[in-house]
Chains A and B, each alone.
Chain A
Amino acid sequence: MKKFLNHVDHMLTESLSGFAAAHHDLVELQLEPTFIARKHKAQNKVALISGGGSGHEPLHAGYVGKGMLDAACPGQVFTSPTPDQMLAAAEAVHAGQGVLFIVKNYAGDVMNFEMAAEMLPFAHATVLTADDCAVVNSTYTTGRRGVAGTVIVEKCVGSLAESGADLASCKALGDKINQRTSSIGVALTSCTVPAAGRPTFDISDSEIEMGVGIHGEPGRRREPIRDADAIIADMVAAIVHDFAAKQLPTQGNILLLVNGLGATPLMELYLIYNTAAKLLTAQGFQITRSLVGNYTTAIDMAGASLTVCLLDDEIQQHWDSPVHTVGLRWGC
């Protein structure tokens, strides 16, 4: 393992301290328990709190600020945060209108947020994101994972909350976007969790992991690497199939997010966008909004994910509204 590292036990705190110092105009860091909150506390709005394991930067701390989250709770690398973090964050940012937790559907995240919610003295609700169509859902499983589609939920619900909407409306919009969003990821290499010190999985130079999760957990299948166009065609097909399975139209205006998993350069991400956009357009979609870059990463994994969100006027309006966070900024 070759990383910028002093001591593995201090890595997270040192990184968060750097984050807070670099963006002191936007955020504040609290330690013990750890959370990142908006520098300028919002008044009289639903408080949006998200969180999850670290290693997915800029998710979630990078989305704290005007028009998105009020606070984010970072856990250890790839490990969900603990309920005391969420309770402390809620105490700090609650503005009288209740708390909305935005939680990626992983067993640990769900359980820790659930325990926090049980102890929370404020009105609260939870939006569970589950956009990863690589995981086959059934009533007998934990269900689909929440991955890069979470960014779209956080952006749009953040916009709605900023407008003064109530808790139920914010939850409803989050659930709607989740329902209309599908993602799939592919890994070219493994990531390396610093505390483990070695790659999470072994993969040869000639193989890819199709449907990989954002922690390097295996996906649909291991297969030989091919031309990018062939790989992307399979990813687009998986998303289109998922839209059909969810009885969503496979045409209409969409937001296309090409997300890097940490170690894939923008040059390759734009190559992926080029092919994915052509295929989705040929399918009957109109790409009216797009985003390309590292938005939900898996530490140092080489790979990318595609996320498609079926827009309507409401979602598009909230996507376009002003946002000022470390990870997303436009309109202000």
Chain B
Amino acid sequence: MINSEQLTHYVFAVRTAILANEADIECLDRDIGDGDHYINMKRGCEAIAGLGETLTKLPLVDALNSIGMKLLSTIGGASGPLFASFFIGMSKTLKVNAPDSAMHIAAAFDAGVQAIMQRGKAQAGEKTMLDVLIPVAEQFNSLAAQGKSTQEIAVILKQVASEGLESTRSMLATKGRASGLGERVIGHLDAGAKSCQVMIHAVCDQVLNDPSNQPSP
């Protein structure tokens, strides 16, 4: 279903998408954060891009773990431990279940999201990246269990990610740096949720464009 070479393509697609969304992400973080989120995301993306070819030569679980460890020692801030926990969590789960079905990949994604929740002691509804990631993980599990095609899953998950991002607009922040601002955050989208929406869209678009995922004629 997925190998290290595809993972590397996803990583490069994520980097391109984050760089393309600089203005949006930075603007959101300036409104209710402290202005370092985009810089940190960019630094993380560049560090992973720097791993480049070495990732493709590793088994998938080791490639995911390497990404996690690299992010942990590169990003700093809240994003570093959170995204590192995501990749390390995915790696651990795929070590148990080989990535030979959409269900196993969905389970690994879910484990990654659970690792973020544990590290950040956060849940849905707190105006964070989890308001994108949790519904995406839930839908991914459910769509995979229903036997939906990779293409169908990618299309729906893009939609779920966008809805999750939009849901942060009306929320109070109770985690992260925006949590000190009380009602002043209402009406603003969360920058971390925006980054995650951008990344999920990038990966899903890559999946939709990948000829190996096209239904056979």
A residues near B (Cβ < 8 Å) are 33, 53, 75-84, 106-108, 111-112, 114-115, 132, 134-136, 140-142, 144-145, 193, 195-196, 200-201, 213, 215-219
Task: Say whether, besides A106-B177, A140-B174, A195-B39, A82 and B34 are in contact (CB < 8 Å).
Answer: no
CA distance A202 to B119 in the complex (A): 33
CA distance A179 to B125 in the complex (A): 30
Q: Which of A76, A107, A132, A136 contacts B78 (CB 8 A)?
A: A107
Instruction: Check if B164 is an interface residue, CB within 8 A of chain A.
Output: no
Output the nearest chain A residue to B42 by Cβ-Cβ distance.
Answer: A195
Q: Which of B39, B74, B177 contacts A107 (CB 8 A)?
A: B177
6 residue pairs A–B, Cβ–Cβ below 8 Å: A76-B76, A81-B76, A111-B81, A134-B180, A195-B36, A215-B36
The minimal Cβ–Cβ distance linking A81 to chain B, given in whole angstroms, is 6
Residues of B within 8 A of A144 (CB): 180
Q: Is the CB of A111 within 8 A of B180?
A: no
Output the nearest chain B residue to A106 by Cβ-Cβ distance.
Answer: B177
Residues of B within 8 A of A115 (CB): 72, 81, 119
Give the secondary structure class of A's interface: loop
Number of B residues with CB within 8 Å of any CB on chain A: 34
CA distance A145 to B180 in the complex (A): 8
Task: Say whether, besides A79-B39, A112-B80, A218-B184, A107 and B176 are in contact (CB < 8 Å).
Answer: yes
Q: Is the CB of A108 within 8 A of B180?
A: no
The minimal Cβ–Cβ distance linking B34 to chain A, given in whole angstroms, is 4
Q: Is the CB of A201 within 8 A of B39?
A: no
Residues of B within 8 A of A84 (CB): 72-73
Known pairs A79-B75, A142-B180 / 6 extra A-B pairs, C-beta < 8 Å: A82-B75, A114-B81, A115-B119, A196-B36, A216-B35, A217-B180
Interface residues of B in 137-192 (CB under 8 A from A): 174-182, 184
Q: Is the CB of A78 within 8 A of B35?
A: yes
Q: Is the CB of A216 within 8 A of B180?
A: no
The minimal Cβ–Cβ distance linking B68 to chain A, given in whole angstroms, is 11
Task: Say whether, besides A78-B34, A136-B182, A196-B39, A141 and B175 are in contact (CB < 8 Å).
Answer: yes
Q: Is the CB of A82 within 8 A of B180?
A: no
Q: Is the CB of B35 within 8 A of A82?
A: no
CA distance A200 to B76 in the complex (A): 19
Q: Is the CB of B80 within 8 A of A82?
A: yes
Q: Is the CB of B76 within 8 A of A141?
A: no
Q: Is the CB of A193 within 8 A of B176?
A: no
8 tightest A-B contacts by CB?
A: A215-B34, A108-B78, A108-B77, A135-B180, A111-B81, A200-B35, A79-B77, A79-B76
CA distance A135 to B179 in the complex (A): 8
CA distance A141 to B174 in the complex (A): 4
Output the nearest chain A residue to B126 by Cβ-Cβ distance.
Answer: A140
